Amino acid sequence: MSAIRMDGKMVSAKVRGSILDEVNRLKERGVRPGLAVIIVGEDPASQVYVRNKERACEECGFYSEKYALPEETTQEQLLGLIDELNRNPRIDGILCQLPVPKHISEQAVIDAIDPSKDVDAFHPVNVGKIMVGNFDFLPCTPAGVMQLLDEYNIDPKGKNCVVIGRSNIVGKPMAMLLLHRHGTVTICHSRTQNLKEVCAQADILVAAVGKVDFVTADMVKEGATVIDVGMNRKNGKLCGDVCFDEVNEKAAYLTPVPGGVGPMTITMLMKNTLKAAKLHAGIED
């Protein structure tokens, strides 16, 4: 038996449809969510992500602004733009595409964004809110994973959940969201001993390590749910962290790459921007 493929494109389209419906209702009340996207330099992958975000804004009926700044933009200039956008009433969400050039501090950029417009949920205020479970916004990739689990009726409650990777963007918040949903969570990383054995105990295994074919069949429990957050290239083709063909024969549910978690990430950004617009307009959920 092959695993059931968790279709991120299908779930994403469904969520975007409901976002558009809500945006149309908000427009009748004079509210239109607005997102500003900033990109510094010419990183090709970042250019693709930004184009996808612009397209998603159109699909969801948002107002959007894009700022493509040259590589030599100074930190002071970038922080000045963020300050302007913080004060711009048309803008509900601000996203600065990472990575930024080396002469600019990523943390300074994250800290400069008004927490109420931080739709990436990277600001320390929003990170703290996620930790205590009283949050407005969730980091987009972990939120997308949770939405997929819900769509396929996979409840983390009481299950062994293993997250491979401890980044601030995916690994740590992913672990917190599974914990908030009553999962028993283990975070694995490069120093973890007996990694294979730990992973093989997981009912839900999330791979967010950034290495091609890192997760092999012997690391996966029979009937597990395997979520592949990896975005790598192998022979020029997009692939994840999971050795798909091997794991496909063992897992009950598996996300493909592309078409799994990827589409969900940008859709959750739209969801956060919608939430920000409602907060700024004083509209309760």
Residue 168 tokens, joined: 């601030």
Over residues 106-121, the pLDDT tens digits come to 999 999 999 999 999 9
Does 51 show up as a binding residue in the annotation? no
Q: Rounded CA gap, 70 and 72, in Å?
A: 5
Q: How confident is the model at residue 202 (pLDDT cuts 50, 70, 90)?
A: very high
Q: Rounded CA gap, 163 and 152, in Å?
A: 19
User: In the chain, pLDDT over 90 holds for what percent of residues?
Assistant: 92
For residue 131, is pLDDT > 80?
A: yes
Distance from CA of residue 60 to its chain's centroid? 17
Is the fold of 29-120 the same as that of 140-263? yes
Whether 238 contacts 30, CB under 8 Å = no
Residue 47's pLDDT is 85
Q: Which residues contact 218 (CB under 8 A, 6 or more apart)?
A: 196, 200
Q: How confident is the model at residue 45 (pLDDT cuts 50, 70, 90)?
A: confident
Q: Out of 7, 92, 118, 120, which one is annotated catalytic?
A: 120
User: What is the rounded (10 degree) CA torsion for 97, 13, 179, 280?
Assistant: 60
DSSP string, 156-223: -TT-EEEEE---TTTHHHHHHHHHHTT-EEEEE-TT-TTHHHHHTT-SEEEE-S--TT-B-GGGS-TT
Which residues on adjacent β-strands are paired with residue 68?
39
Residue 144 tokens, joined: 């997308």
Q: How confident is the model at residue 46 (pLDDT cuts 50, 70, 90)?
A: confident
Of 155, 122, 152, nearest to 264 by C-alpha is: 152
Does 34 show up as a binding residue in the annotation? no
Q: What is the CATH T-level fold of the domain 140-263, as seen in this structure? A: Rossmann fold (3.40.50)
DSSP string, 122-148: -SHHHHHHHHHT--S---HHHHHHHHH
Domain ranges of the chain: 29-120, 140-263
Q: Which residues contact 229 (CB under 8 A, 6 or more apart)?
A: 141, 145, 165, 170, 174, 206, 207, 208, 240, 241, 261
Q: Out of 7, 92, 97, 271, which one is annotated catalytic?
A: 97
CATH class name, domain 29-120: alpha beta
Of 153, 130, 146, nearest to 268 by C-alpha is: 146
For residue 252, is pLDDT > 90?
A: yes
For 112-139, b where at least 16 C-beta lie within 10 A, e where not — what string? bbbbbbbbbbbbeebbebbeeeebbbbb
* Whether residue 66 lies in the annotated active site: no
* Whether residue 77 lies in the annotated active site: no
* Whether residue 97 lies in the annotated active site: yes
User: In the chain, pLDDT over 70 holds for what percent of residues?
Assistant: 100
Q: pTM of the entire structure?
A: 0.95
Q: Out of 53, 172, 221, 271, which one is annotated catalytic?
A: 53
Q: Rounded CA gap, 133 and 131, in Å?
A: 6
Does 12 show up as a binding residue in the annotation? no
Q: 227 by DSSP, 3-state: which?
A: strand
Block residue for tokens 């799994």? 260
